[in-house]
Structure 1
Amino acid sequence: TGSYVAGKVGLETLTGASVTVVNTSGSANTVVFTGLKDGVQTTVTKTAASVKSLFGLRSIYFRVNEQYGGPVDPPTFNDTAGSGHEANIEWAAAQGITPGCNPPANTSFCPEQPVTRGQMAAFLRRTLGLPAASMDYFSDDSGNIFEGDINAIAEVGITSGCDGGPSFCPDDPVTRGEMAAFLNRAYGLAASSVDYFNDDDTSIFEQDINRLRLAGITLGCNPPTNDNFCPDDPVTRAQMATFLHRAVDG
């Protein structure tokens, strides 16, 4: 908030903040804060390096957020602004759960792309910090970039494969129902006595879905009523970030 920023720079109230000098590289050089101190309009000038330290920013390539009133890190990715999942995507990036979708630059996240089962294995393994597996569980992931992640989640019982095994189908998209099962097995969610949704009665994942709703990890797929879950729809990368963040926060 503005009062938090004001206190950090020695002001009582904050009326403005701006980067007044920019280096040729594009990084900030000088930041000016304006506000009241002892009832008098006051200007406080700080170097970008001191602002970085004061506010715990990643670098001096920061911007001033008009609503917040102070310096903030720029978005990690160039394609998530305005997404309802942006904060959760930033969380996933900060936790090392996802580096992005366009290596080696990884400047994009591809929020609307479906998550594959292989990618989901990697996201889960990174979130849970799982060790390497002791064996190779599936016959269709040899040479796959996510093979180690797939074996790791199989070893702890998060997945038993697809189509009855011994396959994992690493390139298939993860459905919302499958995501519910993965998260239920990963976090041991409490059973629910309530049937929350109208469209999952024939799904093999119905109990997983109800557990997910009870835990507050999902609200549904058709706001504002949210009486459907859309269990067969693919999970997007943005939705994945939100599901994982809610699961971790409990």
Structure 2
Amino acid sequence: MTGHWAEADVETLASKLIVHGVTDTNFAPEQPVTRAEFAALIARALGLLPQRTDRFRDVQESDWFSGAVGAAAKANLISGYEDGTFRPDAPVTREQMAAMLARALQLGGHEVQGNAALLERFTDRADISAWADEAVTAALSAGIIQGMTDTSFAAHNQATRAQAVTMLKRTLQSMKFMNP
């Protein structure tokens, strides 16, 4: 992590016991973050207590992430797919992460009105799924997520562990759960 652009954010959330490395000595900032890992991050960040869930047929009670997924689902932070799965090992996309973080803002009582004009600068704005459009604009308006470049949002790109931590920190700051 030394010298990485997300070093300070990772260290801040690690000191609060919200984020962990892939090992005791390696954070792997550029590795994709899975849907289960991101659900666990959100649950820890918001102090949600583990919950049992039978909502998703691919989440077993014995899975390390089961309690976090159950808590995030009960809080309506996450949703699964139409086939009844959560797909915990799938990498979370940038638009999925924006949706989860926009829901976290709502849970924390911080309603953000999205400004659709913020999407105009992205040449790939049509790639943002209809179900995620409002959440993406809310996350952009709140300053939680940015484009991959000045003109590209990359809605379907896999989010990295570094991106996840930085966006989660911005969410907590926006909710006034931590100082800037």
State yes or no: 1:190 paired with 2:112.
yes
Higher relative contact order (CA 8 A, sep 6+): 2
SS at 1:228 equivalent: coil
Of 220, 236, 245, the match for 2:160 = 236
Verify the 8 A CA contact 1:196 1:227 in the aligned structure 2.
no
Q: Hey, what does 2:68 align to over in structure 1?
A: 149
Verify the 8 A CA contact 1:138 1:165 in the aligned structure 2.
no
Q: CA, structure 1 residues 155+165, in 2 after alignment: closer, same or farther (shift >3 Å)?
A: farther
Distance in 1 (alpha carbons) for counterparts of 2:151 and 2:118: 7
Verify the 8 A CA contact 2:28 2:161 in the aligned structure 1.
yes
Verify the 8 A CA contact 1:184 1:212 in the aligned structure 2.
yes
Distance in 2 (alpha carbons) for counterparts of 1:134 and 1:117: 17
TM alignment of 1:163-242, pairs within 5 A: 164-188=82-106, 189-197=111-119, 198=122, 199-204=124-129, 205-222=132-149, 226-242=150-166
Moved more, 171-180 or 210-219: 210-219
Distance in 2 (alpha carbons) for counterparts of 1:203 and 1:220: 12
Distance in 2 (alpha carbons) for counterparts of 1:221 and 1:176: 10
Verify the 8 A CA contact 2:49 2:68 in the aligned structure 1.
no
Superposed structure 1 runs of 4+ greater than 3 Å apart: none
The TM-score with structure 1 as length reference comes to: 0.62
Verify the 8 A CA contact 1:112 1:237 in the aligned structure 2.
yes
Identify unmatched segments of 5+ residues in structure 2.
175-180
State yes or no: 1:87 paired with 2:15.
no
Distance in 1 (alpha carbons) for counterparts of 2:85 and 2:2: 37
Distance in 2 (alpha carbons) for counterparts of 1:159 and 1:218: 18
Verify the 8 A CA contact 2:118 2:140 in the aligned structure 1.
yes
Structure with bigger gyration radius: 1
Q: Which amino acid aligns with 2:128?
A: S
Of 48, 51, 54, the match for 1:136 = 54
State yes or no: 1:101 paired with 2:19.
no
More helix by share: 2
The TM-score with structure 2 as length reference comes to: 0.86
Equivalenced residue count is 164
What's the RMSD between the two structures over aligned residues? 1.4
TM alignment of 1:2-81, pairs within 5 A: 80-81=1-2
Deviation at 1:236, TM superposition (A): 0.4
More strand by share: 1
Verify the 8 A CA contact 1:161 1:168 in the aligned structure 2.
yes
Deviation at 1:174, TM superposition (A): 0.2
SS at 2:126 equivalent: coil
Identify unmatched segments of 5+ residues in structure 1.
1-79
Determine what percentage of the aligned residue pairs are the same residue. 35
